[in-house]
Structures are given as structure tokens and as C-alpha cells.
Amino acid sequence: MTEIVLFHHVQGLTTGVTAFADDLRAAGHTVHTPDVFEGRTFETLEEGMAHAQSVGFDELLSRGVAAGEALPAEVVYAGFSLGVMPAQKLTQTRPGARGAILFDGAIPVTGDWAFGPWPAGVPVQIHGMDADPIFAGEGDVDAAREIVEVVGDGAELFLYPGDQHLFADRSLTSYRPEAATLATERVLAFLAALDA
């Protein structure tokens, strides 16, 4: 079975994030859920974003990277939205990554924001809603398409109909059960393929 480091989104380590981790654990995987917000959760994206801005995105990224580096190197890095930052940075900069799973966000692999080249042979799966004003409207979907093009075989981008950000967090009003269930099935298939 696979070891996974799952980073939470801007509303914190919600019960929905831990429930997703539990779904992966139920399939036999080991899942770590670092809390870069140190126990704080937020009711809205806006409140979470205000907190993230007050702490600083560089600081949050550093906390996430430090948490990942404290764990074994041969893991799958996963993240929801804000959590994509440490997940993607660790995938691209820490040797040993087995794969990456990115929800509701992606960072370009070229240009000023890039963490460096995508490591050869490391698969990635990306999930987002096709009309999400953040994922689709702020350029993340373009970064996701770039990653898929660069990675080639082993890269998958799944777009779900809808306009919700954080659609797979069952503790939030943005949760969309049908899309979340399908996404979870695809994640489990991705992880099973790594163990095949």
C-alpha cells in the first residue's frame, strides 16, 4: 500500500479533509495530514484566505514543506487548493516522490512561479470543476493542462461539471457528492496502479 501526505486547503484541516484521508486509509493506505494552520479552521474561503494572508503564503509553504520533509521520501504528495503548493513543491524538488494528486489547483511548471522541472517518471492526477471561478477562472486549469502536456504518460486531468471550489470536502457547502465520489474512485485507482 501507498504512503500519502495530504495537505489541507485554505479553510484548514476540516473534518471533510480528514474524512477524505480516512477513505484512503480504509483502502489500506497510510495517510499523513499536516496542519499548517495549527488547529485553526474557517467557515468561509474568505476567512481562510484572510488568515493565510496574515500568516504569509511563504510561511505556510515552508510549514508544509517542513512537514513533508519530516516523513519518508517515497510518498505520494496530495493537496487541496492551498495545499497544492507544498504538495507540488515537494513532488518537484524532493527526490523519491511516487506521485502527486492535486485538487482544485495547479502551479505552472515553467515561468516565474515554477518550482522547477517535473521529475521524470512521476505520475500526477489533477481534479477540478470546469466552471470553478478559482480553478478555471484564475489560471489553474491552464497550469494543469501544462503539467499534463509536460508529464505525458502518467498524467491525468479530470474536469467535473460545476462551479464549486473544494467540491470534494464533504464538510463544506461546496461539496458535490457525485463528483467527489467519482474523484475518490479515480484517486484510489491511481494509488492502486502505483502498487501494481
Q: What is the mean pLDDT of the chain?
A: 96
Domain ranges for the chain: 3-195
Are 51 and 40 in contact by the 8 Å Cβ rule? The answer is yes
Tell me the pLDDT band of 112, cut-offs 50, 70 and 90.
confident
Q: Which residues pair with 6 in a beta bridge?
A: 78
84 CB burial (10 A radius; 0-12, 13-18, 19+): buried
φ, ψ of residue 51 to 5 degrees: the values are -65, -45
pTM as predicted: 0.97
Q: What angle do CA 143, 187, 79 make, to 5 degrees?
A: 50
Tell me the helices (H) and strands (E) count for the chain, helix number first: 6, 6
What does the alpha-carbon distance between residue 86 and residue 128 come to, in Å, rounded to a whole number?
18
Q: What is the pLDDT of residues 133-192, one digit of tens each?
A: 999 999 999 999 999 999 999 999 999 999 999 999 999 999 999 999 999 999 999 999
Q: Is the pLDDT of residue 195 over 90?
A: no
Please state which CATH number belongs to domain 3-195. Answer: 3.40.50.1820
CA 12 centroid distance within chain: 13
pLDDT in tens, 35-86: 999 999 999 999 999 999 999 999 999 999 999 999 999 999 999 999 999 9
pLDDT of residue 87: 98
Query: Cα separation of 173 and 45, whole Å?
Result: 11
Is 80 exceeded by the pLDDT of residue 196?
no
pLDDT, tens only, 17-41: 999 999 999 999 999 999 999 999 9
